Amino acid sequence: MTSVSLRNWLGLLSLALALVACGAPNAMPQQVVVPSAQATTTATSSPTTAPTTQAPTLVPTLQSTTSATDTTTATTIPTNTATNAATTADITATTVVFDTATATITATGTAVPSPTASTLPATPTDVPPTAQSTPTPAPRVKATATTGAKPVAVVQNTGGLAQGPLLPRGSITRRPWMVMIDNHPDAYPQSGMDKAAVVFEGLAEYGISRYIATFADGWTPDAAQIGPIRSTRYYFAEWAMAFHPLYVHAGGSPDGLALVQSTNQLINFDALNQPTGSYRDNSRLAPHNLYTSSALLRQFAAKQGISGSDDANVGYLYAKPAPLAQPQATTLNYYFLDQNSAAGFVYSPAQNVYYRNVFGHADIDRITGAQLWTNNVVVMAVTGARRTNDEKARIDQNVVGSGPARIFKDGGLINATWVKNSAAGPLRFYDAAGNEIVFSSGSLWIAAIPSLDRLSIQ
């Protein structure tokens, strides 16, 4: 080979190397690295083939990623693309789960096929709101009655008077049963108050009220469950003493316990110490799960030989219902310490009863599921004060004495006065002329609030 030929050959070789460095079409294949972001973008577009200037066999990784009919392995596309899986096709190694209750997306490490229109989750804005996500505050003052169901009348021993349970004065020959009932939020809904002839509602601690449900065997229907039973207070026991009842409670304040254990005006039934007359319902949390029933109380009274009652002052006066053609008051609401303890009644002219509401919704019985109602409502003002240095924040209530009251019956409103002359004396109600109130035949609800300023009437 001559020197000229050698130089020509070396020049051609240099030119070929330069063309290779510039990316000639026939260059040797190089490894292609596909970033995960690029892979996600290309997968949402229409599938394409490699450019004609580049042989498909030279870029198998890129071709695999851009094909909508091939499945990519986890090593090709990192799992951090899982958040876009709902809008991509076969490019993720994770399964996306959409929780319609919480509008959240979670992922697990399993490959999924291409999503279709039917599997695409709705966006959070399309999810119907739940009670947790869009709570509706209950009205604090005005409540609405449920009047669809007609109240069931009591027909035994009524003399043609009863529309609801009764406690007729002069006709009570057996000791009534009076049961302290819990009104903590965890105790709702309560049981058995729909069968009571008289219900007392009074303030306990921290703005929470408590009830005494009063039953008269033979004058009130049997209750399959009564409770939850809760502890007594001194002033609740004072209300009970005038009825000389079998007084059912679960412990109590020190002075309240001392009173019920020492007085001869009632029979003390501490449910914490009477397992045969009460029971725990394990479907609810203690202490809001202690119950009794009419049958258990009747059995207890018979076993203990508890005598009847011969006090002719026990009970109230009744007359046949006489609803007004034009009701004077159809809605009444009250509270104890603040609006968080709001309760009230709505009068139904069609039924001539008052349907009870708490916190802006119907107050129902746990067993029947029906809204509580009563034939008569008394709202009375009872003064009181918190005890000094009481670690339980207990209060005193002045239930002996007298004070103003409002009476609601037959759609009417009466300005009245309540009178209780002694702890063992009966609680009576009188109109402005000094006449004792005669209630509409049926049940009676007595709410004792700190001031009538906390009562609203419509």
pLDDT digits (tens, 9 = 90+) for 171-184: 999 999 999 999 99
Which residues have a Cβ under 8 Å from the Cβ of 323 and sit 6 or more positions away? 349, 352, 410, 411
- Region 299-315: what's the mean pLDDT? 90
Angle at 290 between CA 224 and CA 132, to 5 degrees: 95
- Region 392-407: what's the mean pLDDT? 94
Residue 277 has pLDDT above 90, yes or no: yes
- Region 380-393: what's the mean pLDDT? 88
Residue 11 has pLDDT above 80, yes or no: no
Residue 307's pLDDT is what? Answer: 77
CA 235 to chain centre: 29
Of residues 247 and 154, more confidently modeled: 247
- Region 125-139: what's the mean pLDDT? 31
Mean pLDDT of the residues in the chain: 74
Q: Global pTM?
A: 0.68
In the chain, domain spans: 37-124, 177-457
pLDDT tens figures, 409-450: 999 999 999 999 999 999 999 999 999 999 999 999 999 999
Q: Encoding tokens for residue 296?
A: 């258990």
Separation between Cα atoms, residue 387 and residue 215, nearest integer Å: 32
Residue 230's pLDDT is what? Answer: 97
Residue 130's pLDDT is what? Answer: 32
- Region 226-234: what's the mean pLDDT? 97
Of residues 80 and 356, more confidently modeled: 356
Residue 145 has pLDDT above 60, yes or no: no
Structure confidence at residue 139 as a pLDDT band (50, 70, 90): very low
Of residues 23 and 405, more confidently modeled: 405
Separation between Cα atoms, residue 326 and residue 181, nearest integer Å: 36
Residue 360's pLDDT is what? Answer: 83
Tokens 């007085």 map to which residue? 263
Structure confidence at residue 24 as a pLDDT band (50, 70, 90): very low
Structure confidence at residue 259 as a pLDDT band (50, 70, 90): very high
Of residues 387 and 95, more confidently modeled: 387
CA 226 to chain centre: 19
Tell me the HSE value of 161 on the side-chain side, using a 13 A CA sphere.
19
- Region 199-215: what's the mean pLDDT? 94
Residue 324 has pLDDT above 50, yes or no: yes
What is residue 198's three-state secondary structure?
Answer: strand
Residue 117 has pLDDT above 70, yes or no: no
Residue 82 has pLDDT above 90, yes or no: no
- Region 71-95: what's the mean pLDDT? 33
Residue 283's pLDDT is what? Answer: 95
Separation between Cα atoms, residue 164 and residue 355, nearest integer Å: 13
Of residues 91 and 396, more confidently modeled: 396
What is residue 276's three-state secondary structure?
Answer: coil
Residue 308's pLDDT is what? Answer: 83
Question: CATH fold of 177-457, please?
Answer: YerB-like fold (3.50.90)
